[in-house]
Amino acid sequence: MPQKKKRLRRIFGNINMLYLILSVIAAFALWFILSLTVFPETTVTLRDVPIDYSLTGSYADIAGLSIMTKSADTVNLNITGLRYQIGEYTQDDVHATVNLDSVRAPGQYDLRVEVTSVNGDAITVVQDVQTVKVEFDHLVYKEFSVSDGTLTADYSKVSAAEGYMIDPDEVSINPSQVVLYGPKDYIEQITSCVVEVNNSGVVNQDIRITNTSLKMYNGDSVFESEKITHDVDSFDLNLSVYITKNLKPDIRFNPYFSQFDISSLDGKYTVQPETVMVKGKDQRLLTMDSLSTVGYIDIRQVKIGALLTQSISDTAYYTNISGNNTLTVSFDLEGYTSKSVTVNNNRISVINCPDDYVVSVLTDKITNVTIIGPAESIEQIDATNIIAELDMMNYNINLGSEMYSVNVYAPDYTDCWAFGRYTVVANIEENIHDVNVVE
Tell me which fold the domain 41-137 belongs to. RNA Polymerase Alpha Subunit; Chain A, domain 2 (2.170.120)
Which tens digit of pLDDT belongs to each residue from 46-79?
999 999 999 999 999 998 899 988 999 999 999 9
Judged by average pLDDT, the poorest of 24-33, 198-207, 379-388 is: 24-33
Which tens digit of pLDDT belongs to each residue from 114-152?
999 999 888 888 877 689 999 999 999 999 999 999 999
Strands of the sheet containing 172-174, edge to edge, are: 172-174, 236-239, 207-209
The pLDDT value recorded for residue 434 is 47
Q: What is the mean pLDDT of residues 384-409?
A: 94
The pLDDT value recorded for residue 386 is 96
Judged by average pLDDT, the poorest of 45-49, 183-187, 268-272, 288-292 is: 288-292
Contact between residue 217 and residue 243 where contact means Cβ atoms under 8 Å apart:
no
Which tens digit of pLDDT belongs to each residue from 34-48?
555 555 788 899 999
**Confidence band, pLDDT 50/70/90 cuts, at residue 410:** very high
Write down the pTM of the prediction: 0.66
Judged by average pLDDT, the poorest of 1-15, 115-129, 352-366 is: 1-15
**Confidence band, pLDDT 50/70/90 cuts, at residue 175:** very high
- The C-alpha angle 250, 253, 256, rounded to 5 degrees, equals 160
Nearest CA to 234 out of 217, 206, 208, 214 is that of: 214
**277: pLDDT strictly greater than 90:** yes
The pLDDT value recorded for residue 131 is 92
The pLDDT value recorded for residue 437 is 43
Question: What amino acid occupies position 427?
Answer: N
Architecture of domain 336-430: Beta Complex (2.170)
Query: In whole angstroms, how far apart are CA 420 and each of 153, 378, 409?
Result: 55, 17, 11
What SS3 state is found at 122? coil
Domain 146-239 CATH (choose: 3.40.50, 3.30.70, 2.170.120, 2.40.360): 2.170.120
Give the separation between CA 310 and CA 271, rounded to whole angstroms.
10
Nearest CA to 53 out of 129, 133, 141 is that of: 133
Q: What is the mean pLDDT of residues 333-345?
A: 95
Q: What is the mean pLDDT of residues 341-368?
A: 94
**328: pLDDT strictly greater than 60:** yes
**294: pLDDT strictly greater than 80:** no
Contact between residue 303 and residue 372 where contact means Cβ atoms under 8 Å apart:
yes
- The C-alpha angle 276, 171, 188, rounded to 5 degrees, equals 130
The pLDDT value recorded for residue 438 is 45
The pLDDT value recorded for residue 12 is 53
DSSP class per residue in 156-188: TTEEEPTTEEE-GGG-EEESSEEEEEEEHHHHT
Q: How many Cβ atoms are within 10 Å of 137's Cβ, its own excluded?
A: 21
Give the separation between CA 89 and CA 212, rounded to whole angstroms.
50
Which tens digit of pLDDT belongs to each residue from 10-29?
655 566 666 667 666 766 66
Please state, for a pLDDT cut of 90, what percent of the chain lies above it: 72
Strands 74-82 and 124-125: antiparallel
**430: pLDDT strictly greater than 60:** yes
Tell me the average pLDDT of the chain. 89
